[in-house]
Structure 1
Amino acid sequence: MFDINTFKQKSPQQRFLFIFGLIILLCYFFLGVYMIFWKDIPFEIAPTYRILFGILLIVYALIRFYRLVNQKDN
C-alpha cells in the first residue's frame, strides 16, 4: 500500500508523475460525477447512456487509483 517514506525517497520526476497521476485521476472521477448529474448536456445523449458513461469514468478512475497506489519501484 502507500507509504509516506517511500514517497519521500522518490526522485523529483517520480513525485511529479505521481502527483500528475492523482490530478488526472481526480479529473476522471469528477467528470464521471458531472456526467451523471448534469441534465442539460450541450449534445444529444440518452439519460441511460449518460449515466452509464459516468459510471464507466468513475470505475476507470478507481482502477487508475489502485494502479497508482500499488505501483512498485523498478
Structure 2
Amino acid sequence: MLSNNNEKQKSPKRRFLLILGVTAFVGLLVFGLLIIFRDSFLEQLPKPQKTIFGCVVIVYAVLRFARYLRKDPNENEV
C-alpha cells in the first residue's frame, strides 16, 4: 500500500511564509555584513557606528527568523 503523507506536509501558506522568512533573513544578514565590512557603504558614518549598526541589523535578522520558527499553538496544520 502507498502511504499518504498529507498529515506531515506543510500548507501552501506555511511554505510561502517559510520562503519569505528565509529570504528576509538572508537579505538582512547580507545587508548587515555589507554595512560592517564594506568601506564604500554608508561612508558618512564612522567605523564604530557602522559596526554597531551592522550588528543591530544582524541581531534583528536572527530574532525575526527565530520568531518565525517558533510554532504558533493556535495555528492548525492541515
What is the TM-score with the length of structure 1 in the denominator? 0.78
Q: Take 1:53 and 1:30, find their aligned partners in 2: how far apart are those partners?
A: 13
Does the alignment pair 1:32 with 2:38? no
Q: Please give the root-mean-square deviation of Cα atoms over the aligned residues, in Å.
A: 1.9
Q: Which runs of 5+ in 2 are unaligned?
A: none
What runs of 5+ residues in structure 1 fail to find an aligned partner? none
**Which residue identity does 1:50 align to in structure 2?**
K
TM-score (norm 2): 0.74
In the superposition, relative to structure 1, how do residues 42 and 52 fare at CA in structure 2: closer, same or farther (>3 Å)?
closer
Q: Which has the higher helix share?
A: 1
Question: Would you say how many aligned residue pairs link Structure 1 and Structure 2?
Answer: 68
- Superposed, 1:1-74 pairs within 5 Å as 8-41=8-41, 43-72=43-72, 74=75
Identity of aligned residues (%): 34
Larger radius of gyration: 2
